Structure 1
Amino acid sequence: MHLRRRFTLRSTVPRSAVLTATAIATVIGAMTWSPPAMAATYTTLPAHVYAPYYETYLAPNTASLTATAQASGAKYFTLAFLQATTRGSCSLDWNSNSAQPLNYYNSDIASLRALGGDVIPSFGGYSADHGGTEIADSCTDVNQLAADYESVITTLGVTRLDMDVESASLNNTAGIDRRNRAIALTEAWAAANAIPLQIQYTLPVEQYGLDPNGESVLQNAVADGAAVTSVDIMVFDYYIAGEGTVNMGQAAVNAATNTHTQLAGIYPALTSAQIWGMEAMTMLPGIDDYPKKTEVSSLADAQTMLTFAQANGLDLLSMWAIQRDNGGCPGSRDQNTCSGIAQNAWDFSHLFEPFTH
């Protein structure tokens, strides 16, 4: 199951050296792969974008990206998830499924772009991070890992990659270091080819901000010379016990504010406004995974998040996930295809869509 629980963050409840330019050039020169042909153009995302996650593992029993965009009004999507074909592999498929190779969505993405939209491919997710098929955990060759990232960029024609790091991947220090070293190589390659690459990290959060292992992911990125454009915090599945119903809107604001303080320590050269501009939030519409059903994000909570994001100039808003944005399963928690609360189809998306500009 592709749940975003923070299993590694608590023991009692279920939750989930800078590379010099010379060094990078030396490594790139030693690489032996030949990346695919470049896409004709590479277009960056809007400065502020609503890009909900799209659960690719529901295919073929879900609407296409283009049909979803036409129905919902959302034009940008974060595609979940690219994973190693098997544990120990350096090859990628969508959801470790050989029936969904890397180019599986190319035609759909082209149609989406014709509507003015685009996608952000996401690596990892709970199942891969927990099971060892997150590509940086699985592939121990940094050069090959960089080649994988480059292949995704050239095959899909994208300019942003999302690294969803949770569960066991948060504590896999070797995987964390490989990922960031490969990102640094990929960024050098992209710069050499005039590709405006952006890297996004999606990490679990609490109201007090990132846990130490989440901070370590970003600290290692700095040490390895991997530039990070966006830090996306998952503002749900807190597993807050003994406090009754949680105000999820205020909890998200608390989490984002405390994460801002942490990022200021990790990136001391940035201004406060620049740090806000690299923050992002992903919420879950309706009832999240906590069994007591006390963590429920309503449209009012979403409005609180939107107002905060607009006021502070956040980079991205997202939800887990677009297929859940409907009221088709009243009272159910953490379902792949509905929110569990009373709502009209696409209510959350319609609220967030104006954030894109």
Structure 2
Amino acid sequence: MVGVVAAVVAGSVTGWSRFEDARAAEDSGSWFAGYVDATATPFYAFERPQTEEGGSVVLSFVVADPESPCEPSWGAAYSFDEAESTMDLDRRIARLLQSGGEVAVSFGGLLNDELATSCTDVNDLKDAYASVVERYNLTTIDLDIEGENLLDTAAGERRAEAIALLQEERLAADEALNVWLTLPVAPTGLTEPGTTAVTQMLDGGVDLAGVNIMTMDFGESRPTSMSMLEASIAAAEATHSQLSTLYSRADLPLGPQALWTKLGLTPMIGQNDVVSEVFSLDHAAGLNAFAVEKGIGRMSMWSLNRDATCSDNYADVTVVSVGCSGIDQDGQSFAQILGQEFEGTSETISTTSASPEPTPELVEDNPETSPYPIWSEDATYVAEQRVVWNGNVYVAKWWNEDSTPDNPVLQADETPWTLIGPVLPGERPVAAPTVPAGTVDEWDPEEVYESGDLVKLDNHVFECKWWSQGDSPEAALQGSAGSPWDRLTNDDVLKLLEGLEDGSSSESTPSATPTPTATRSESP
């Protein structure tokens, strides 16, 4: 009876966890706000939105004053009073708010020092952030950390401590402050400095509203065969996985649906800084569909200033303009496309970090139905070898042993495995060739081998590349280029055995019969 009760309780906990996870996603109030380059000339009239979706903005960028490291400025060019007198910034913000819009402010960017980089006193830094929040009566701020600012880990620690202190002050005054961390990304996810920045925030006690990734300027990290839409989706999925690991490590576990609400996407519309990268209107529609399906918490774009077709006198559209997208938009708006169905506001995003983590359903791998061998901690694997683990197929990137295929990692190069996809219904084991006894001799450390000689070791067949004695083929399994042995693939072994059959009678040469293997295999 105790076991039955325990099972019922466990099932109830799992069910409640999933309910909480789903509710977190439903209550998220996903929101859209385009970035506005506030100091770019001519000044963009954000106070007069061109579309309904452009009614909320993220004004950019507040950075350190070059002459006063703890003094915030707009783009290192205007003090706040100068921004008011020169750009009418305060008045224009008030007008947008009167019309029902929302304003957030972004700190940092690529070109100047973010406040934490130059202001080394944590209390002064906290006061600097607070002065911006109070001046513009903000409920949401965005920390755009990239370039040299992202590489400065000491600044990252100061930033986290100062923001945590500011959130505590605001909370004590019953005035919540939503904090988004905006970071560069590759199709494989956040870079190592990016994951460090998230860790610093969580470990420093910052209650992150979410992590916003800049799906733009991928450069060499994007394969040429991958479109900008595909790269953006890959980056989102990889970052989602990284955030799961980061929040778990910080003892703030989140369910998968709640994690999507902690993610923001910001493409650079039209022509990117990398000439070969163009984010089209179709890409925008595809990214919006993906974001809506997943329940992404925030959608943005760089920038509202650029959401227009360039005029005829802008000759070279491959050179990025601050005032147009570089593509023919045919009267359409990126903001309208990206912002569809994002009807919440930044204030509706829950900043509570922890929620119950749903217990994943365990998949029992069956060697009789799995297309490849079940992964074993006692086996060694080589590049291109495939295994099945927890209902999924993985392929080895390099020689490895005792490395669990689904071990959560932050960077793709931390694991020797690549996830291919799930085991499909109706699949059966892939046949691996068995080398009959007497066909190929076992490797002998005392034997002298010449180029072209064949040996067998641990059911693998090897071909000698040059004169060898005492050099174990095991080194070839581990990927050593200096090994005198090449391991033959399954296809090579089958061709070898077929050749032996063709060259001798079936009575004198045993036939090669492909049989399922439960230890090692590779793609056929």
| Range of TM-score over shorter length | 0.7 to 0.9
Per-residue Cα deviation, 1:54-90 (whole angstroms, up to 9, x for no partner): 011214x2232212x1467511111110011116610
The partner residue of 1:51 within 26, 33, 40 is 33
Which stretches in structure 1 are left out of the alignment for 5+ residues?
Answer: 1-45
Q: Please, which runs of 5 or more residues in structure 2 have no aligned partner?
A: 1-27, 344-524
1:109, 1:208 → 2: CA distance?
38
Output the amino acid matched with 1:298: S
Q: Which has the higher contact order (CA 8 A, sep 6+)?
A: 1
**1:235–1:143 CA distance, 2 compared to 1 (3 A):** same
The answer for the alignment partner of 1:27 in structure 2 is none
Which position in structure 1 is the counterpart of 2:204?
224
CA-atom RMSD in angstroms: 1.9
Name the count of aligned residue pairs.
304
1:323 aligns with 2:305: yes
Partner Cα separation in structure 2 for residue 266 and residue 275 of structure 1: 11
Indicate which of 315, 320, 325 corresponds to 1:334: 320
Which 4+ runs in 1 deviate beyond 6 A?
none
Rounded Cα–Cα distance in structure 2 between residues aligned with 1:281 and 1:166: 15
| TM-score, length-scaled by structure 2 | 0.56
Per-residue deviation at 1:245?
Answer: 6.3
Q: Identity of paired residues, percent? A: 30
Partners of 2:57 and 2:281 in 1: how far apart?
20
- The answer to whether the 8 Å contact 2:186/2:221 transfers is no
More strand by share: 2
Kept in 2: contact 1:82–1:121 (CA 8 A):
yes
Q: In 2, distance between residues paired with 1:84 and 1:145?
A: 10
Deviation of the 1:106 alpha carbon: 1.7
1-side partners of 2:76 and 2:186: how far apart?
Answer: 29
Residue 293 of structure 2 corresponds to which residue in structure 1?
311
1:58-207 alignment, distance < 5 Å:
58-59=40-41, 61-67=42-48, 69-70=49-50, 73-86=53-66, 89-98=69-78, 100-101=80-81, 104=84, 105-128=89-112, 133-207=113-187
SS where residue 70 of structure 2 aligns?
Answer: coil
Give the number of the structure whose alpha-carbon radius of gyration is greater.
2
Instruction: Give 1:91 deviation, angstroms.
Output: 0.4
CA shift in 2, pair 1:63/1:346, >3 Å: farther
CA 1:142–1:261: 2 relative to 1, 3 Å: same
The code of the aligned residue for 2:342 comes to T
How far off its partner does 1:354 sit? 2.4
Query: In the TM superposition, what whole-angstrom CA distance separates every residue of 1:295-328 from its partner, at most 9, and x where no partner exists?
Result: 1110111111101111111111111111111111
Q: Secondary structure at the match of 2:236?
A: helix
Q: Per-residue CA shift, 1:74-124, capped at 9, x if unaligned?
A: 111111100111166100111112355487322111110111111110000
Give the CA deviation at 1:294: 2.0
Query: Which residue of structure 1 lines up, in the alignment, with residue 190 of structure 2?
Result: 210
Name the amino acid aligned to 1:65.
Answer: F
Aligned pair in 2 of structure 1 residues 355, 344: CA closer, same or farther (>3 Å)?
A: same
Matches for 1:246-265 after TM superposition, within 5 Å: 246-265=226-245
Distance in 1, matches of 2:99 and 2:45, equals 13
Counterpart-to-counterpart distance in 2, 1:134 and 1:241? 26
Distance in structure 2 (CA, Å) of the matches to 1:103 and 1:338: 24
Letter in 1 for 2:168: A
* 1:349 matched residue in structure 2: 335
Task: Please give the alpha-carbon distance, in whole angstroms, between the structure 1 residues aligned to 2:140 and 2:222.
Answer: 39
